[in-house]
Amino acid sequence: MIDVGLPVHQVSQFDDDPDLLLAHLKQTEAAGAVHQRIYVLENLTLAHIALFGTFFDIDPCIFASQIRTANWEEKPTKNNTPKLLSSRNPARSFSLRYNELRLFQDPLSNRLMDIHAGRRITSTRLRRVFANVGLVKKCATFWCREMLNSWDGMLHRVTIVYRVVLILIDPPVTHCLPDALYRESSGGAPVFVNEPYQGGYQDFTLWSEVGIENQSLGASMVPPPGPPRTSTLDDIVYYLSASMPLPEHPSMTPQVAATILKKFVLSHWVAHIEYTKSLLNSIEAAMAKQHGSDLAWLETQLTDLFRWSRRLSSYCEQTETALDNLGLLSQSYYGAVPSTSLSGSNCDDDFHYVHRRMQNMKNRAIDLISTVNGLIGTLEVKQTIKLTESSQKVATRSEELANRSLGEARTVRALTILGIIFVPLSTVASIFSIQGNYGPGQPQFWVYWVIAIPVVCFVLSGITSLGSLANIR
């Protein structure tokens, strides 16, 4: 909890002690004093929901939007349909979903679940190789209220007693389980050592330009320390502490805390966009080196691109939902006037910028899918042409063999005709060459016919029997 006051602000930590927190909430405020308190709550529990919800009369949908992990509930007993835009008040409350890049010691071959917040940790895979980078799905919720005391004698003005801001965030990722085991497990989980990818998101603190014209170029300037990046809680507290009111600014409005939370989420989105862009660049570079000559490799790239296209569609829905929750969807990014404030308090253009970049990434993935499909179609056509040419060669060879067989058949036919012609002549010559009593015109010439005719009949019957057996087989 941060108690915003002058001349200094006070930071208090309650850990997991509900009684201490309840005693703090019941403290009586000094009459007429202006108090501003910011509560940053990490890892929302039922006890916290009961305490804050009862004491400040907070809409339960505020807590439900923070703890919701599913994109859509398919069970008939659950419902997470969002409110109408006309029923939302972005100045009072909003929820923003984002993805945090974390670098793990080992490649993430399975989709993990953070057992503390129940958030999914999506693994990244490129060309069938799993990376050490995981995308942790997270959510941040803002709620504020100005508590009013009494009338000051005029109907349209009131005296503000104190302002209260509640920020709900997710805890850091430590213990994880595979998605399948998470739904069935009731015990502990192993520790997954991880750290911010590439050092974490970019610090969105503006470089101070106050008094720089009075300093010499040789003077040493100490840069701001920046957020610790150890957890979301530590980073939010750092930015809130760095934005505490100065003597010339008597109060800190809740919108300052809201802007800090928005920029924190936007910084993660920008880091996520750059990481996705690098993956798409690597796919394009690999396609340029391969020249699209390997059909199996192209099919692998197509599978990865389909996966990223589906994810980018989900990311575009998240950025569009953020525009809805903040009431920015109706504003045109290209027609908006950019903010010239040195404090950088207006970050509406940043949300439109992130949404536009995500849509460009999605269109880029779709274009790559069309390109890969075209390359696959070209390779398939080339393979079909090669198969057709091979078939034509086989057909030509078969035709040559058929022509050769036909020529041989014609030769055999000619020989058969010659045999038909010369066999009778040979037979007659053989008969007339017989001498002795068995020759033509002799008394025993009949013996020749008695022997020849049965032999001919026996040979013909044998040929007929062999033909019949061949037909049966």
- The structural domains of the chain, with segments of one domain joined by +, span 384-452
pLDDT for the residue numbered 293 = 66
pLDDT for the residue numbered 183 = 59
Coil vs helix vs strand at 103: strand
Cα(187)–Cα(119) distance, integer angstroms: 17
Q: Hey, how many other C-beta atoms are within 10 angstroms of the C-beta on 367? A: 12
pLDDT for the residue numbered 345 = 55
Cα(205)–Cα(9) distance, integer angstroms: 20
Cα(62)–Cα(386) distance, integer angstroms: 64
Given a cut of 50, whether residue 212 has pLDDT beyond it is: no
pLDDT for the residue numbered 157 = 47
pLDDT for the residue numbered 242 = 81
Given a cut of 70, whether residue 35 has pLDDT beyond it is: no
Q: What is the pLDDT of residues 427-448, one digit of tens each?
A: 766 776 777 776 777 777 777 7
Give exposure, 452-462, as e/b (b: 16+ Cβ within 10 Å). Answer: eeeeeeeeeee
Cα(251)–Cα(34) distance, integer angstroms: 9
Q: What number of residues does the chain have?
A: 473
pLDDT for the residue numbered 67 = 86
Given a cut of 70, whether residue 53 has pLDDT beyond it is: yes
pLDDT for the residue numbered 138 = 92
Average pLDDT for residues 129-138, to the nearest whole number? 86
Q: Kind of pairing, strands 120-126 and 112-114?
A: antiparallel
What's the predicted TM-score (pTM) here?
0.74
Q: Residue 48: which residues within 8 A CB-CB, separation 6 or more?
A: 18, 21, 41
Average pLDDT for residues 138-143, to the nearest whole number? 94
Q: What is the pLDDT of residues 455-472, one digit of tens each?
A: 778 777 877 777 676 666
Given a cut of 50, whether residue 407 has pLDDT beyond it is: yes
Q: Residue 283: which residues within 8 A CB-CB, separation 6 or more?
A: 126, 301, 304, 305, 368
Average pLDDT in the chain: 77
Q: Hey, how many other C-beta atoms are within 10 angstroms of the C-beta on 191? A: 10
